[in-house]
Amino acid sequence: MMALAAYACDPQASRGRRHPEPSAPTRNAFQRDRDRIVHSTAFRRLVYKTQVFLNHEGDLFRTRLTHSLEVAQLGRSLARALGLHEDLVEAIALAHDLGHTPFGHAGQDALNECMATHGGFEHNLQSLRVVDGLEERYPQFDGLNLCFETREGILKHCSKRHAQALEAHEPGGVAARFLVNGQPSLEAQLCNIADEMAYNAHDIDDGVRSGLISMAQLSEVPLFDNYRLQVQAAFPDLSGRRLLYESIRRMLSDQVYDVLHATQSALQQHAPGSVQAVRQLPPLVQFSAEMKAQSTQLKSFLLHQLYRHPQVLQTTEWAKQVVRELFQAYLDNPHAMPEGHASRADLPRAVADYIAGMTDRFASREHARLTGVPNPA
Ligand code: MG
């Protein structure tokens, strides 16, 4: 690992764990967090959770697990080049989607609607709930008891209302920055941008492979098409998957260097001397203005052509129905859930936690079991 920069998070200067623990003899605090995340139940479930395509639609599409691994890979590369803490970036990247419901955004939207009068549902907040409380592995505490810096990175977005509620439990804690418009560490900022880079790239790949979008359609997206033209000029006979992969590879690679340059110049300009200084500055991990605009264009293309493709919307509708009906079924009959959930004082929240933890196929099976309606897939 390259020497840590002054503005990086240092595990020895961590703001600590909620339940103090002796340090580990051979691992730094962020490595230990990463290891706890990898061993968690929520992490293993990511393999059967939808990213864009429902888990049963094909074996080669990204799942939340492979997405998280790609974010970790990009994040670590960037962290190393910027002198940031790679282990912390990896821990945040691997945990960032732990709170996602089954069936991707459709599942989360449905669950949020079900919880509208019970405090709502946000997947970022849920990721934090998973590592702070829902994982049951240790004798002395609930959750994984992660470091402040890892938790800070996991809580990527948070509404004012939820931030106030968190702040009441943990004054000056991970939600405080949402009340004062502060920034998280550079490692956390880096994970956000690595997340965006990863899904833009892999959704092109999955989108084309699924047949829902075509290379011809992608010619309206300059960020992608410039690389395709470049690749075709260098390899005139190339077509199909190799053309797609090489174009995506070049796009990702240029984005990595773009982030490095733009971030390095922001760091030079602001010269933060510590992570505390970073938290009070504007966001520093960034694309150049030009790359940002192109990335936004690509996102908008994916939104309209892929995420809102009629075939995707059709499965989306079904997924929402499954979540809504499951929610109602458990409210009506709490004992259809495991005892630990059924006996909780706040029943709607217990139901939301239970459903959010489900894999796509477990949710489908439970739905069929409780409603008698067979799963169409
Ligand atoms: Mg993500």
Dist. CA 99 → ligand 1 center (Å): 10
Cβ within 8 Å of residue 41, ≥6 positions away: 135, 137
Q: What is the pLDDT of residue 376?
A: 67
| Placement of tokens 């709490």 in the chain | 334
Dist. CA 151 → ligand 1 center (Å): 15
With contact defined as beta carbons under 8 Å apart, do 136 and 338 qualify?
Answer: no
pLDDT above 60 for 261 = yes
Dist. CA 105 → ligand 1 center (Å): 11
- E strands, the chain, are none
pLDDT above 90 for 276 = yes
| Placement of tokens 């240092």 in the chain | 10
CA distances from 223 to 235, 258, 291, 307, 343 (A): 19, 13, 8, 19, 52
Q: Which of 136, 131, 150 is nearest to 89 (CA)?
A: 150
Dist. CA 37 → ligand 1 center (Å): 15
Cβ within 8 Å of residue 345, ≥6 positions away: none
Question: What percentage of the chain exceeds 70 in pLDDT?
Answer: 97
Q: What is the mean pLDDT of residues 176-198?
A: 96
Range from 40-54, 140-154, 183-197 carrying the lowest mean pLDDT: 40-54
Dist. CA 140 → ligand 1 center (Å): 31
CA distances from 252 to 54, 264, 287, 372 (A): 25, 18, 12, 46
Q: How many helices (H) and strands (E) does the chain have?
A: 19, 0
Host H or E run for residue 243: helix 240-270
Q: What is the pLDDT of residue 200?
A: 93
Dist. CA 90 → ligand 1 center (Å): 13
Dist. CA 100 → ligand 1 center (Å): 9
Q: What is the mean pLDDT of residues 140-147?
A: 97
Dist. CA 332 → ligand 1 center (Å): 33
Dist. CA 82 → ligand 1 center (Å): 21
Dist. CA 65 → ligand 1 center (Å): 10
Q: What is the pLDDT of residue 33?
A: 98
Specify the pTM.
0.95
pLDDT tier, 2 (very low <50, low <70, confident <90, very high otherwise): low
Residue 227 DSSP symbol: H
| Alpha-carbon span 367 to 28, nearest angstrom | 43
| Alpha-carbon span 79 to 4, nearest angstrom | 10
Dist. CA 94 → ligand 1 center (Å): 9
pLDDT above 80 for 191 = yes
Q: What is the pLDDT of residue 79?
A: 97
Dist. CA 93 → ligand 1 center (Å): 8
Q: What is the pLDDT of residue 196?
A: 95
Give burial (CB, 10 Å; 0-12/13-18/19+) of 12.
exposed
pLDDT above 90 for 373 = no
| Alpha-carbon span 290 to 331, nearest angstrom | 49
Q: What is the pLDDT of residue 55?
A: 59
Dist. CA 257 → ligand 1 center (Å): 21
**Helix, strand, or coil here: 17?**
strand
Q: What is the mean pLDDT of residues 292-310?
A: 94
CA angle 15, 16, 22 (to 5 degrees): 145
Residue 12 DSSP symbol: G
Q: What is the pLDDT of residue 54?
A: 65
Q: What is the mean pLDDT of residues 332-361?
A: 94
| Alpha-carbon span 260 to 243, nearest angstrom | 26
Range from 49-53, 145-149, 345-349 carrying the lowest mean pLDDT: 49-53
Dist. CA 220 → ligand 1 center (Å): 25
Cβ within 8 Å of residue 370, ≥6 positions away: 325, 326, 329, 330, 333, 336
Q: Could you report the per-residue pLDDT of 31-60, keeping only the tens digit for each?
A: 999 999 999 999 999 988 887 776 566 677
| Alpha-carbon span 106 to 321, nearest angstrom | 9
Give just the sign of the alpha carbon dihedral 282, 283, 289, 293. Answer: negative
Dist. CA 334 → ligand 1 center (Å): 31
CA distances from 103 to 55, 189, 293, 318 (A): 8, 26, 29, 10
Q: What is the pLDDT of residue 314?
A: 87
Q: What is the pLDDT of residue 377?
A: 56
Q: What is the pLDDT of residue 226?
A: 95
Dist. CA 96 → ligand 1 center (Å): 6
**Helix, strand, or coil here: 63?**
strand
pLDDT tier, 61 (very low <50, low <70, confident <90, very high otherwise): confident
Structure tokens at 103: 């069936």
Dist. CA 374 → ligand 1 center (Å): 31
pLDDT above 80 for 86 = yes
As a whole number, the mean pLDDT across the chain is: 94
Dist. CA 342 → ligand 1 center (Å): 30
With contact defined as beta carbons under 8 Å apart, do 223 and 104 qualify?
Answer: no
| Placement of tokens 């897939």 in the chain | 377
Q: What is the mean pLDDT of residues 298-325?
A: 92
Dist. CA 194 → ligand 1 center (Å): 9
Q: What is the mean pLDDT of residues 319-348?
A: 95
Helix, strand, coil distribution of the chain in percent, nearest 5: 65, 0, 30
